[in-house]
Amino acid sequence: MKWRKLGLLGPAPQSHEWCASHAMLPIPVDRPDQGIIRTYVTFCDSNGIGRPGYMDLDRETFAVRRMSAAPLLDIGEPGTFDENGVLPTSIVSLDDRHVLMYYVGYELGTRIRYRMLTGLAISEDGGETFKRHTTVPILERSPTEMYFRCGTYVMWTGEKFRMWYIAGNGWVLINGKQLPEYRIKYLESKDGSCWSPEGELVLDMSRKDEHGFGRPWVVTTTTGLRMYYSVRRRSLAAYRLGYADSIDGVAWDRKDEQLGLDVGPDSYDDQAIMYAATINLNGYTYCFYNGNDFGRDGFAIAVREDA
Query: Can you give the CATH number for the domain in which 44 is found?
Result: 2.115.10.20
- Give pLDDT, residue 179: 87
**How far is 148 from 130, CA to CA, in rounded Å?**
24
CA nearest neighbour of 146 among 173, 170, 163, 110: 170
Cβ-based neighbour number of residue 212 at 10 Å: 22
This prediction's pTM: 0.97
- Give pLDDT, residue 208: 85
pLDDT at 183 over 90: yes
CB 162 within 8 A of CB 184: no
CA nearest neighbour of 230 among 42, 47, 26: 26
CA nearest neighbour of 9 among 232, 269, 265: 269
Q: Quote the domain boundaries for residue 104.
A: 3-304
Question: What is the mean predicted confidence (pLDDT) over 7-16?
Answer: 87
The amino acid sitting at 111 is: R
- Which strands, in side-by-side order, build the sheet including 64-67? 21-31, 36-44, 50-58, 64-67
Strand 274-281 to 238-246 pairing = unpaired
pLDDT at 51 over 90: yes
CA nearest neighbour of 76 among 58, 52, 40, 46: 52
Which residues are paired to 253 by β-bridges? 245
Cβ contacts of 167 within 8 Å, gap of 6 or more: 144, 145, 148, 149, 182, 183, 184, 185, 199
- Given pLDDT bands bounded at 50, 70 and 90, which one contains residue 277? very high
CB 74 within 8 A of CB 86: yes
Domain count, the chain: 1
pLDDT at 206 over 90: no
- Which strands, in side-by-side order, build the sheet including 274-281? 3-8, 299-304, 284-290, 274-281
- Give pLDDT, residue 307: 76
Count, in order, helices (H) and strands (E) of the chain: 1, 21
Alpha helical stretches, state H, the chain:
292-295
- Given pLDDT bands bounded at 50, 70 and 90, which one contains residue 260? very high
